[in-house]
């Protein structure tokens, strides 16, 4: 039995062995092999995809996961006045943000609650950001230091080390609040310039961000290794304006008073240095607080703000921010007669004192249309000087006919009136003129006294400044220099002369006529005690705002004998009843310049005549050569007039006026007569009564006469009567009294 059982077991085992050893069918092997090849091929494709196609992205992703990059915000450059007083500065603040994915789920509500309480924010809005799928969410910007410290303490108490970011930032602050607001401009929430210099010099002020890149572990903690990189921050440069805070403050004080006292809608003013084009002051009133630029600047608007639509609010703010000196045009009125006068003189159409040159009968008529003079009384016969002094419209309409459209437009182009001035302020517009071939006789007439065309205040003062600068047009500048915060290097703005528009002789003649306007004409209320002022008034119809009333203006050159500045004041939409630029704008100019000229160190007439070192004894140059005589007299501080056709190195002086040892003021005139020219020249003595010392001195100087004086004040008497003839070089003694 046992043996049979063993045999049975053997047979069973043999059967099993045979089944195992039996080879797989070829079909099955092929299937297995095919599957293996496919899997292998897929692996190769996957490796190729990861390595070559998606490799750079994966590499970048790994780099981002293993590194932390922190931006370093640059410090925005400051804006300062010409003397270095800060007008716009940046204060250090912080921006708070979160990385939602790095905040543990069970702590998200805690984080939202803490952030909303510390920064007084809406809890639900903060919670939404904390639960966001974004990589980063900004919670609040421009956070002050005390709240940042409170957050840091809260994070330490609640053991929150990652997920909340505190990044350094800057907040813009304006120390003078409203001062020069439309010029300086303001910044948005991201420190980007949105208006004024802040906008036009954005690239210079903003700088470039720096960056620190470090390796981190799974908990975002920094790993100390050699792979940290640092990109250096470039801070913004400081921008120095040409504006002087002290002058700007004076101007804003008086134009604010002008709006309040005269019930006008707006007022604007520019003060320019004619030789450089530097803007010493540029103001618009009403202005606004640069630290709260989105708040209305009138009580009425504040009261109705919540009731206003979005469009109404936007329109109000844009109007409030508008720099009317560059962004609005207006009819300049009679101030433009200065430009018309210069064209006529330069083209030799007339001269300053041609007797009976014009006749005012109270109006001029064009095809049945009467255009009247501003005055109810006719001015009768006038010279050009008198016509400008009277601001006589008919006289200038007659002058306009003589000049003609083509000549007008040639000089308008030369004065830069068809183009923007190019000042580095945003929003500058250009003028509005008739097309040259469409100017009618009426258009030509009204154009001659500054109406029916529009220019900007900046265009007008730039043109008149060229007259104060000997006929040379200069580009206006608002920035004096730029200083690099990091290196200290300075880039100064250079004076840019555009072109010679009219001759110096023409320019000086117009300034003389403008001086006559102040002493004898419509501009008397723009006079400034102790200074010679050249000025011109203007009255025209309003073309901006609510169009109620007139535009009143006054432009002044001070002092007229050696201009330090040109000042323009404009009042828009004033009541129409019995108001003119002379009576309203004139006193404003007078008040401004009474403070500004002494501040600038411009010497007054009384100071000049009381100066101990202003008088010099005339040297004896008779029997010296003309060359020697000129050198001696010029070194002594005198002007020399000599007429000689012979060689000055060998020709002798035979006579001089005044004679030797006469006491004269420096800059007086000595007339020399030589061997080949002994003919004496006589001139008529002008009427000096009522003139200031400087006015009298200049009137005599034009005729090559000299002045001596006693007393202070204005001329009450003169040693030689008006109209009498005397030799060139003669000294006229005047008595001054108050």
Condensed to tens digits (0 to 9), the pLDDT of residues 686-731 reads 999 888 888 888 889 889 999 988 877 788 899 999 989 999 999 9
pLDDT at 536 over 70: yes
From 523, 558, 580, the end of a domain falls on 523
Q: Tell me whether residue 171 is in a domain.
A: yes
Is the distance from CB of 732 to CB of 705 less than 8 angstroms?
yes
**What does the pLDDT read at residue 18?**
47
**What does the pLDDT read at residue 334?**
95
**What does the pLDDT read at residue 607?**
64
**What does the pLDDT read at residue 409?**
97
pLDDT digits (tens, 9 = 90+) for 258-280: 999 888 888 999 999 999 999 99
Same domain, residue pair 622 and 505: no
Q: Tell me whether residue 307 is in a domain.
A: no
**What does the pLDDT read at residue 55?**
65
pLDDT digits (tens, 9 = 90+) for 630-674: 999 998 889 999 877 788 888 888 889 998 888 888 889 999 998
Same domain, residue pair 41 and 74: no
Same domain, residue pair 401 and 509: yes
Of 186-190, 454-458, 561-565, where does the model show the most confidence?
Answer: 454-458
Rounded to 5 degrees, what are φ and ψ at 597? -60, -45
Q: How many CB atoms lie within 10 A of CB 173?
A: 14
**What does the pLDDT read at residue 612?**
43
From 194, 217, 239, the end of a domain falls on 239
Same domain, residue pair 450 and 479: yes
pLDDT digits (tens, 9 = 90+) for 545-585: 555 678 999 999 999 988 999 999 999 988 765 677 678 89
pTM over the 0.85 mark: no
pLDDT at 45 over 50: yes
Nearest CA-CA partner of 286 in 310, 311, 322:
322
Nearest CA-CA partner of 571 in 326, 330, 266:
266
From 239, 261, 295, the end of a domain falls on 239
Element (H, E) at 246: helix 245-262
Share of the chain above pLDDT 70, in %: 88
Element (H, E) at 299: helix 299-304
**What does the pLDDT read at residue 89?**
93
What is the extent of the structural domain holding 225? 69-239
Q: Tell me whether residue 594 is in a domain.
A: no
Mean pLDDT for all residues in the chain:
86
Q: Is residue 613 very low, low, confident or very high in pLDDT (cuts 50, 70, 90)?
A: very low
pLDDT (average), residues 325-351: 96
Same domain, residue pair 128 and 12: no
pLDDT at 177 over 60: yes
Q: Tell me whether residue 597 is in a domain.
A: no
- Give CA–CA dist 500/277, Å, rounded: 14
Among the listed ranges 51-60, 219-228, 292-301, 409-418, which one has the minimum average pLDDT value? 219-228
The domain total for the chain is 4
Q: Where are the alpha helices (DSSP H) in 140-244?
A: 145-157, 181-184, 196-200, 202-206
pLDDT at 154 over 70: yes
Q: How many CB atoms lie within 10 A of CB 87?
A: 24
């Amino acid at each position: 039995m046992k043996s049979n059982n063993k045999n049975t077991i053997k047979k069973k085992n043999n059967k099993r062995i045979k089944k195992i050893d039996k080879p797989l069918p070829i079909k099955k092997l092929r299937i297995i092999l095919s599957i293996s090849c496919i899997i292998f091929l897929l692996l190769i494709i996957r490796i190729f995809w990861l390595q070559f196609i998606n490799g750079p992205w994966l590499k970048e992703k790994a780099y981002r996961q293993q590194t932390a990059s922190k931006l370093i915000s640059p410090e925005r450059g400051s804006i300062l006045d010409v003397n270095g007083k800060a007008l716009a500065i940046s204060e250090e603040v912080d921006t708070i943000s979160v990385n939602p994915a790095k905040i543990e789920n069970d702590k998200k509500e805690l984080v939202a609650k803490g952030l909303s309480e510390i920064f007084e924010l809406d809890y639900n809005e903060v919670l939404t950001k904390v639960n966001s799928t974004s990589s980063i969410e900004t919670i609040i910007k421009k956070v002050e230091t005390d709240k940042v410290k409170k957050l840091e303490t809260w994070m330490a108490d609640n053991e929150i080390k990652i997920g909340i970011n505190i990044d350094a930032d800057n907040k813009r602050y304006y120390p003078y609040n409203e001062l020069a607001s439309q010029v300086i401009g303001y910044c948005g929430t991201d420190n980007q310039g949105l208006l004024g210099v802040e906008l036009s010099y954005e690239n210079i002020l903003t700088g470039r961000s720096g960056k620190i890149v470090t390796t981190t572990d799974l908990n975002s903690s920094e790993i100390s290794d050699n792979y940290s990189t640092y990109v250096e921050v470039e801070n913004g440069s400081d921008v120095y304006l040409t504006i002087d805070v002290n002058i700007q403050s004076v101007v804003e004080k008086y134009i604010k008073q002008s709006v309040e006292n005269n019930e006008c809608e707006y007022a604007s003013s520019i003060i320019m240095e004619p030789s450089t084009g530097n803007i010493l002051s540029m103001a618009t009133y009403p202005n606004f607080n640069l630290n709260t630029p989105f708040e209305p600047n009138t009580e009425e608007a504040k009261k109705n703000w919540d009731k206003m639509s979005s469009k109404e609010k936007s329109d109000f703010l844009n109007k409030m921010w508008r720099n009317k000196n560059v962004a609005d045009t207006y009819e300049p009125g009679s101030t433009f007669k200065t430009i018309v006068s210069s064209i006529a003189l330069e083209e030799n159409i007339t001269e300053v004192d041609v007797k009976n040159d014009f006749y005012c009968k109270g109006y001029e008529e064009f095809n049945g249309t009467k255009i009247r003079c501003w005055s109810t009384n006719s001015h009768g016969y006038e010279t050009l000087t008198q016509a400008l002094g009277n601001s006589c419209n008919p006289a200038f309409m007659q002058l306009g006919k003589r000049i003609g459209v083509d000549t007008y437009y040639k000089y308008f182009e030369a004065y830069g009136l068809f183009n923007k001035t190019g000042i580095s302020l945003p929003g500058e517009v250009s003028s509005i003129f008739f097309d040259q071939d469409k100017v009618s006789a009426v258009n030509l007439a009204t154009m001659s006294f500054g109406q029916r065309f529009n220019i900007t205040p900046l265009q007008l003062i730039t043109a008149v400044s060229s007259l104060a600068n000997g006929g040379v047009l200069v580009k206006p500048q608002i920035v004096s220099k730029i200083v690099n915060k990091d290196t200290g290097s300075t880039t100064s703005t250079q004076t840019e002369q555009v072109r010679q528009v009219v001759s110096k002789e023409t320019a000086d003649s117009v300034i003389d006529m403008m001086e006559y306007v102040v002493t004898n004409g419509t501009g008397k209320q723009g006079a400034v005690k102790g200074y010679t002022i050249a000025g011109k008034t203007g009255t025209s119809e309003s073309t901006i705002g609510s169009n109620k009333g007139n535009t009143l203006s006054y432009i002044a050159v001070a002092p007229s004998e050696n201009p330090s500045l040109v000042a323009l004041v404009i009042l828009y939409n004033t009541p129409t009843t019995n108001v003119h630029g002379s009576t309203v704008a004139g006193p404003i100019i007078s008040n401004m310049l009474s403070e500004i000229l002494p501040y600038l160190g411009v010497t007054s007439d009384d100071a000049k005549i009381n100066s101990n070192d202003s008088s010099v004894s005339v040297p004896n140059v008779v029997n010296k050569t003309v060359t020697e005589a000129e050198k001696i007299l010029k070194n002594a501080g005198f002007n020399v007039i000599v007429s000689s056709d012979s060689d000055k190195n060998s020709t002798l002086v035979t006579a001089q006026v005044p004679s030797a040892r006469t006491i004269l003021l420096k800059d007086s005139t000595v007339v020399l007569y030589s061997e080949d020219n002994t003919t004496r020249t006589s001139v008529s003595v002008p009427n000096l009564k009522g003139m200031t010392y400087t006015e009298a001195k200049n009137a005599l100087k034009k005729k090559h006469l000299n002045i001596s004086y006693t007393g202070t004040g204005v001329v009450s008497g003169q040693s030689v009567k008006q109209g009498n003839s005397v030799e060139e070089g003669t000294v006229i003694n005047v008595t001054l009294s108050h």
